[in-house]
Structure 1
Amino acid sequence: MSSTIAGYNLLEVLYEGAITCVYRAKRVSQSDLGSTVIIKTLKAEYPTVNQLNQLKHEYQILQDLEIEEIVKPLALENYGNGLALILSDFDGESLAKAIATRPFELKNFLQTAIHLAAILAQLHQQNIVHKDIKPYNILVNPATGEVRLIDFGIATRLSRENSTISSINGLEGTLSYMSPEQTGRMNRSIDYRTDFYSLGITFYEMLTGQLPFLGTDALEIIHSHIAKTPVPPHLVNSEVPEALSNIVMKLLAKTAEERYQSTLGLKADLELCQEMLQTGKISLFQVGEFDLFSQFLIPEKLYGRDREVSLLMSTFARIAYPQDNHVNAGKTEALLVTGYSGIGKSSLVNEVHKPIVSARGYFISGKFDQFQRNVPYSALISAFQSLVKQLLTGSETQLAQWKTKLLAALGNNASVMIDVVPDVERIIGEQSPAPELAPTEAQNRFNLVFQNFIRVFCSPEHPLVLFLDDLQWADAATLKLLDVILTDAETGYLFLIGAYRDNEVSPSHH
């Protein structure tokens, strides 16, 4: 990147991420010489349509917001092959820089924390969920204590949205500050309370100088967000009063229902701490007493399905944890979920996301279509295409390991797999065509190759959960292949879950 953007000289980098850069810059036009702005640009020389749309989306959201503490948009300009979002400047530094250069005194922490709670209160009142609260997106003026919130690239206007399992590189947000539900591994939708969790991580860092979860591996960090309780801040830094530590821990609750339910409740607790500090010291009190439900939200829990959830969990545990001496440990198991359309079969199955992450397993899914019954293996192929796409986001070392495993398993028949899951070729390279065979032999060969292919992904390190929905519309070839896989003594660490509408399956259906 050059030191200029049309009409502006770049002064300093405020933030540099994988996709975007944020700069402070000075105008060079004669009419407005010397005034500074903040510029957000895309790093790629040829940005994707999605990246360009994100900047347009951010400009639109900021235009509609009338909140003083939000940095105002001035223009969205063409720059190279992409766009540059021009924002009004705020004489401050990123909170991340402040955390790195000096510890936060309690007085300064509470002043900044109360400002942030007030900003979130205004955002949430306008049904805006930021989804990327972190120190890099918070500007603070050290002299005045004023605070500004930036980077609305993934903010949403929805009061609630669903998050799906995607590859690590496809997750929206910043992994270290991401709420459990935002990882897509919790079978919970995202609402305004995701911002409370990210704010809790930010507060934790301000008070202790470190993140609550320090893993270097992406799956390890996701597992920590979902399943591990962080060490309370007052045990990391003895200068932090226990009451303030309890506020942070409430923000960091794993389920949204256990966090603060309103920014007003959070702000009230922080202001109480501030009042106590001004008159002496912060004493222990019951946090959350001033918390009120600012919005009516139905808790996301599967009521009346405890037995079914328990069955799913225990079946997965048998497959994933052979060291616990389970019967059938490490074997292949299948479980069928039946019921009418809309009864919640998929929601029930999605409850296993959490233990899958804990076991560092893979969860893939495919759905049969009544209008594609003439397309053999459609749901299976869809599921494994998504898995291969996940693998392709790995490091060069990881890809080399997968290449070795796949070539060893597929041998001279590797091209048979490439024909149905084309992205496999991106891992193992171009392969010689397999010999032509008569239809029956070709079918048998395909079943054998697919068996070998599946075994590559089923291991003690990475158990595999395969969810196939709407099995009532499965084609005969898929059902035959599933029978072969499930009766294969050499395949283990595989949990096949099938869901079907029993009212649409006739007695003659096999």
Structure 2
Amino acid sequence: MNSEHLQIVKELLHSKISLQNHSYPEYYRIYNNKLKVSYLVKILDNSTQQYNLLLQLQKEYQYLQELSNCEYIVKPIELIIDNNSTYLIMEDPGGLLLNHYIPAKGLQANDAFHIIQQILNALKFFNKAEIIHKLINPYNILIQPSDASIRIFNFQLSAKVNKKKPADNIEKIYPEYIQYFPPEQTGKTNITIDFRSDYYSFGMCILKLLCGHTIFSTPIKDRFDIVTYILSCEINPYFFTNLGIENKYANILNKLLTKDKEDRYPNFVEIEKDLHTAFHKKSRTSVNIEIPNFSPDLSILTEKYYNFGTVSVTYTKAVRTVGKQNIPFLLYVNGSPSYGKSSFIEELRKSSSYIKNELFSMYCYEDRFEYKPFIGISKLLHSLFSTLQHISKSKYNELVENIKNLFHINHLDYSYYEAQLFFPKAKKKNNSYLGKIRDNKSIYIEGYIKILELLGNLEYIVICTLDNIHWGDKETAEIIQNILLKSNSKILFILSFNPDQV
């Protein structure tokens, strides 16, 4: 059988690169920049007559097909037996192995949680399909550095639930994999494998993400030494705190990595609940931050990531950085990216999982191609209404009245009120307000000043702008600075795509 994909793979075999994820048969990345094609390929030499490996490859393809709707796995293309070789061809999502991505001392908690949440979502999907992965570890997870999205692969040992299967022969499994094995998967116990076995491997991944290593602080190459340690290691919360893990995470790890699977979490609901509690626990202590002078230094959050080359990456990174501060704020994003509007908004939505602040609201409106700036303003105000309800009722009502009085209206909708009041020089055309606003910066500034005056009621503000025409020059910055100095806000970051222009 000869397919278009197989033909391309064969032509590019000379350029194949091993993923080095310790799998056999190996996974290769095969790509050609000119043809703009890239595959992940697993190739089995049939002449070796290792029928068990052929069966593994066929099952792996079967499981990939069953899970093809899961966004967290590498997508299968086809399995082809051709002459003396069998090819498992998959889409290449790009990225690098998670094991190569994690720094020696682990990731920041917020960054780790984004990855942890994705792995958990994948495991929930596997659960519904009644598939136990059995090789959940950073060597079998690809991650995109730009947005930290992951794809899981290598289902060669996977099995269906309730299907009796002999223990895997650890002599044929790489030591790097075995350190993520639960006791029941080592072949040294009489305990059956089920979903809770993947929970154990998941817990070991969390440990690796948080501190840079598993329960093995130093590498052990001998398979049987690894198994002996897994079976003898006394797991308790103190074990993890001695590794520098905070108590709130140590308690979760203790319930995931306990040797007796009956003592592990019984389901995903409890795991997810405890993870969200631990990673999003809010500090009730007050935060005192000096008001910085409004200067080009305020753009440093994006400048650090500017070389990533795309708007979405730059802003996702910036939002995550700001979000790590445990302070309440409103985030207002305006403008539309030139690198694909929908993908940008999706990136920001992903990054919102990093925000642990008490007050968080985000709306990105798209005006570059659709000319709808007023919808954005109105939705911003609706966001204010919903996110400010945690403050005192009197202050909330006061802010609502201020907004109504400013607009001279009794309600807010998504039509033309804000166009008339924020941009009085704009002209109506075919029930919408077009072009001229974009050509007159002072009109834009006039509206945004009024917004900033309202935002002065908030304790903290973060504003991102993609369109430098609004405030990408000294004149605009000075106007905004004067407004801010008179406001009650304690801190403001204005993040511009081009750091040199703010």
After TM superposition, the score normalised by the length of structure 1 is 0.49
TM-score (norm 2): 0.50
